Amino acid sequence: MRLSEYQERAAGTAGGEHRRERAILGFYGELFEAQGLAGPQLVDELGDRAWYLAEICTTHGLQLEEVAGCTIQSMGRHWLAESRKKYLRGDYEEPEYIERVFVGVASEWARLQRECWAARVTLSFVLERNIAKLADRQRRGVIRGDGGER
């Protein structure tokens, strides 16, 4: 699956108010969910993280395919919260903030790819499984709510 297709299909499962904030907060909620997991549960958590990164790109006007193609040095895990906070208080203008988001997502995407490799699954498999899971939830009317097994 091409990353542009994944981003488009992932965006089709989002919506509502405050998308940018929900994407950021959701990403942080997912950061450590995969620790200690294996098999299908791990793949699902990696897919959730991919979804939030795609949604961050979408809500910030970035193309995941372009972001993922960059080789970026790994950043600390609080890059997005710090960038958002500083943007909201006026330390950054919009272009600088978007550039920081670009670099941060690129760093996290590279981390996600390494975790897929370590789990011996392809990124494509993770993305396809994530879209299938979300499509199933949409069909059943349970896209929103709590719990991975909804």
From the list 150, 112, 145, the residue with the least C-alpha distance to 34 is 112
Using CA atoms, how far apart are residues 41 and 132, in angstroms rounded to an integer?
14
pLDDT at 146 over 70: no
Give the pLDDT score at 149. Answer: 53
pLDDT at 88 over 70: yes
Q: How many CB atoms lie under 10 A from the CB of residue 14?
A: 18
User: Are 50 and 113 within 8 A, CB to CB?
Assistant: no
Residue 68's pLDDT band, with cuts at 50, 70 and 90, is very high
Using CA atoms, how far apart are residues 80 and 138, in angstroms rounded to an integer?
28
Residue 32's pLDDT band, with cuts at 50, 70 and 90, is confident
Give the pLDDT score at 150. Answer: 41
Q: Which of the residue ranges 25-29, 78-82, 123-127 would you say has the lowest mean pLDDT?
A: 78-82
Give the pLDDT score at 27. Answer: 92
What residues contact 3, with CB distance under 8 A and at least 6 apart? 64, 65, 68, 127
Chain mean position to CA 58 = 10
Give the pLDDT score at 50. Answer: 97
pLDDT at 13 over 90: no
Higher-pLDDT residue of 35 and 50 is: 50
Using CA atoms, how far apart are residues 87 and 97, in angstroms rounded to an integer?
6
User: Are 89 and 82 within 8 A, CB to CB?
Assistant: no
pLDDT at 73 over 80: no
